Every structure is written in structure tokens, then in C-alpha cells.
Structure 1
Amino acid sequence: MASNKKPWIPRLHLFEIDDQPWFPPFLRRHVQTGLTHAWLLRLPPLLSSSAAAQVAETLRRTLGADATRYTYVDFCAGAGGPTPEIERALNRRLRDDASSTSTTKSKSDSKSADPITSSATANGAPSYAAVADPGRDPARERQEEEKEGVRFVLTDLHPHAAEWEAACKKSDHLSYIAEPVDASDAPAGLISRHTGPGKKVFRLYNLAFHHFDDGLARAMLKNTVETSDGFGIFELQERSINSFITCFLFGLFILLIAPFYYFPYYFTSPSALFFIYVMPIVPFVLVFDGLISSLRTRTPDEVKVLFRTCGADATGWEMRSGRQQFLWPCGYMSWIICTKKEGIDQ
């Protein structure tokens, strides 16, 4: 669980280089590639799972059985970031859970079956129980939903259709909206498309919520309460000395892993290694923006204040939070998950 200790560093909404309109787009792509690697990096035995996989496990663990009822909409997807990997990891785990439950249920049924309650008699004719209660099995329906997989949708105010198209070709459970989507004013069609009986919308903000000032953050939270059923904020930094150290370490990691992780870009963008080793703009921006992101990141209590003052009725919403290590020795992912309780109408 997240610590209630108040950071000794005040939140400062300073500027990040990667956000600036004057920052060259080709360099921005290299920086965003580095950030994506931060989500996907695995270093066994120091780190057995990636930060993206940890997000998927956090969603599964925190949302419980409701995890299969949501469509997960990434409202600040950028070039894709960790969401494709989160989708794969979450659906993989849900399938494993469904398979395990199905196996356990089959063994239990085989042991408890008798001529009266079994769905068929010894001679193959339907039993009285099967004829008297021909309705659908809710547990089996839930298992079928889990096998089919939950859906993820990529959106952004500045769409990256080409990158999203490539990611979506690798999964039937991933789609995208090619038009600009404002998280503070989500299109009614986008929400209604993924809501209905047994279906809900969950918003994702991966390494994104710290970018918004208090006014915009409140507007986004208000729109979330009015149109969605939950949201998750996942950050790879926090306002702490540990986070600052991690930012510098990640800059060094980029220098070590670039020949391996940037390999696909050698042919399409040979400048990648030049701006990592010869003129190290990419590591510099990653470290600088990481430090600024740390200063921008809100604590769960600070998000709770924004949530309560966003202008929408948040009665019946529940907020949970925590932190866990994603990069040895001092890199921690912080998370906040807020959901609307069943039966609460706005």
C-alpha cells in the first residue's frame, strides 16, 4: 500500500522538454521510445516482470472479478506506450484464471455428480434437473468472457494512427480512435460504444496524469465521474530522493541497452544512436524530464483533493492506491485506482 507520509518536496508544475512545441519531432520519437522501454524492461533476476506487466497484475488484483467487465480506454496513449503490453499481460492472466477455475470446477463436478443432479442420466437422456432449469450458467458465461478477453482502446488529443495501427495488428483486443480525443470532454459516442448491460468503461492514465495542471486535472476527473466507471493513474516516479536517483540510473541504462532496444530503428532512423552516444540529447532529456516529472507527480491524497473538488458528485466512488518496485534498487511505480460502486448512478 502507498505510504501516507507527506513528501518533503512540494509539487512544482515545471516544464518538460518533450512537451515543448519547439522540440524536434524525430527526437521526441526517440525519447518516447526510451520511455516505452522503461515500461517493458525486464532484467532477471533483478526484475522478473516489466512495469507494464505489473500494471496488468495490479488491475487484475485490485478490480477482482470486475476486471473482465471493463473496456480500458487509454486517454493519453501517445505513440502507444505500455498499453499494448498491458493488454497482452492482463488477458493472458485472465485466461489463466479462467482455465484454472474451469479445471477446478470440472473436477468438483465429476466428484459430486449423481444420477439425480447430473445433466444427463446413465443412458444419455437429459436429467430432471436439466429439463426443469434450462437457463444459462452465469459462471460459465463469465468464463467465456474471460477467454474472449477484455478490450483496450488507444486515444489521444494528438493521435498516432500509424503506430497504433501497427500495434493493433498484433492483437484482436486492441483498437484505436483516429480522431483527436479530449480526456476532459470525451465524445459521447466513444463512451456509449463500450457501455451497456454488464459493460463499463475504465480510463487509463499511464505516465500521463502528472502532465496536467490542477485546472485540467479537475476537468478530466469531472468528465470521468460523469461518463465512466473507474480510472487508474500509473506513474513510474514520485516526489522522493529515490525517484531522482532512479532517473539518473535510467539515463545510464539507456546507454547500456540502446544497442539492443533501439536495433529496429537502425534502418528507419539511423540518427537514434547518434543522439544517444555522440550527441547524448536523448539520455539528457530522459533524465531531465524524469526529474521534472518526479516534481510534478501527485500523491494519492493530492489526487483525492482534486477528485473531491472537481465539480461532480463523486458519492459512492472508492479510491485505492499503492506502490511497488519496478526497477532495482530504488525505482517504484505508484498507482491510484478509483472505481464507482455497483448501483451508483450519477
Structure 2
Amino acid sequence: GERPLPALLDRLRETFALRAVSVLELAPDAQGRPGRAHEEGVWRRVASVGVDPAGSPGAGETTVPVDERLTVVLSGRRLEAADRRIVEAFAAQAAVALRQERLAEEAATARPLAEADRLRTALLAAVSHDLRTPLASAKAAVSSLRSPDVEFDPEDRAELLATADESLDRLGRLVANLLDMSRLQAGALGVTRTAVGLEDAVPLALDELGPAAAEVRTDIPADLPAVDADPGLLERVLVNVVANALRHSPAGRPPTITASAHAGQVELRIIDTGPGIPEDRWEHVFLPFQRLGDRDNQTGVGLGLALSRGLAEAMGGSITPETTPGGGLTMVLRLPAADERPDR
């Protein structure tokens, strides 16, 4: 089982009709040095079963040493030599079980630390690349416009201003994603749900994406129910999911957005015809920073889909991937219809 040590000790107690069974260990001294068996007051009970378990080797009727630092103490009656040999086998197994428990605890403690370290390393890489790139582009454009040594014609000036504007918009989206993800993971994300029409929310998201989203096709029925969502969070979800679809769509084949309602839910499908993702990798795209190490200057920090799923779930919805018929990936955003809220 998951906790074999207590089960093993309990079986030992029942087999020999004992009052209690204890596993004692020599505790380190104040300087962290291992305790000595002949010293007083250095034993500690690391596991026990039964009533009034022993706290020191002399407190029980039978003591079975396992090694220099570990011993098993039986309380209730003194065992004969033949029984003692059986108990020694139990004691050896108890020592193994104790080591297994401690290894499992160490692994459980190490996993969150390793994950935090991985995310911290990924964040630093993201900041050094994805945040620096649009900042450098905007800085270069503004510095060029301010340079007294170059005279720009109106067309060049407009292009530089557009570059600065686009770069700062991208920088703003990256920073917003990082801040939203940190609030989401800290449980500090405020959600204010209200009725939102997708016929209004989708165009706003496409406008935020700028010229890149101009060719995205939409098919939202006029009689589609409003969704119960936070307008600001919904826009962030749509921007991130559509941006991901745009990034992977072939030239001349922009994504399509369709919507439908079923069983109290509204489903929004963002459909691309790009290379797609193998089904066994679908869940990996929702992990933060999964795109690190395989990016170009146009890709984000790998937070978009991870953040989108978290925001959708915070609004009572979900995001799931599907294979686009003919090839590609379809992201399905499901949100409750506005008239289906449980508190209404």
C-alpha cells in the first residue's frame, strides 16, 4: 500500500497479541551529529501502533535492534527466542518500509521545487527573449524618428510609427499574460461575470490582434445566446487562442471562428488548418512555457493557451482541442449561456 509501515507494525502487534509496537530512531544531537546508542534521551519514535507505545528502548518488554540507529520496541509481553527471530524479520521489513516512506516524502517535496525552478528558468528565458524583442524594435523605431541626422519622408515615418505601435502592443500582451498567469496561480484573479454577446466580443479580440487577424472568417448566428463571462477575461482568452491559430495557419488559409449553442452551453470553435498536434500531445500545449526553446521572433512566451484554459475555467467554462477535419487543430471554448447560471 501507500503506507506499508503502519500496516506492517499493526500485523506484528496482532500476530503476537501485543499492546503496542514502536519504531525508534536515534536523533541527531544539537550540532546535527548522529546520536550514540549509549546516550540517554536521544531516541525518538518515528512510527507506532497500539496503546501507550514506547518512547525509549527500555520502556518495552522486548527490544529488537535493526541497525546502529534504528530499533523496534514491543510492549505488552516478553517474547520467547523463537518468536524473537520472526520479529527480527518484521523489524528488517519495517526499516525498508520506513526508508521507502522517506524517499517518497523527499520526492514529493522535490517535485514542486523542481517545477518552480523550471518555471523560474523559463520565465527568465522568456523575459530575455520575448519581452526584449518587441522592446528593442520599438526603441529602434523611436530612436530613428528622433535622430537629427536622418530626414524621413512621410511613408517611412508612418512605417516606423507602425512598427513602434505594433511592438508596444505585442509587449503589452506579453506583460498582461505574465501578470494574469501569476494572479491565476496565486488565486488572486478577480472574476466579474455578466452576459456577454460573442457577436461583440469576437470582433473586439480580432481588432486587438490588428492587421494579422483581418482575414479571419467568423460565423456567429444572430440568435446565439449571450455567454455568462467576464468581458475582460473573455477578450484575453479569445486574443490568445486566435493568435495561436493565426501563428500556425498556412498562408492564404486563415482561421475560421464558428459558434453554436447546446444544452445550456455556448461553444466557440477556433479552427485552423495548420500542421495540427498529435492527440497524445494535446495536454502539453496547455502547460506554461512549452514553446520555449523552439521560437522565432514572432512567437510568444508559451503562456497563451495555458492562461486561456485557466481563465476559461475561472469563468466556469473549458477549452479542449479537437482535430480539424482535413488536418489542423480546432480549439473549442465552452462557456455557460447567460440564462443558465446556477444562481439564477
Q: Given the two structures, how large is their TM-score scaled by the length of structure 1?
A: 0.25
Q: Which has the larger radius of gyration?
A: 2
Q: Which has the higher contact order (CA 8 A, sep 6+)?
A: 1
**TM-score of the superposed pair, with normalisation by structure 2:** 0.25
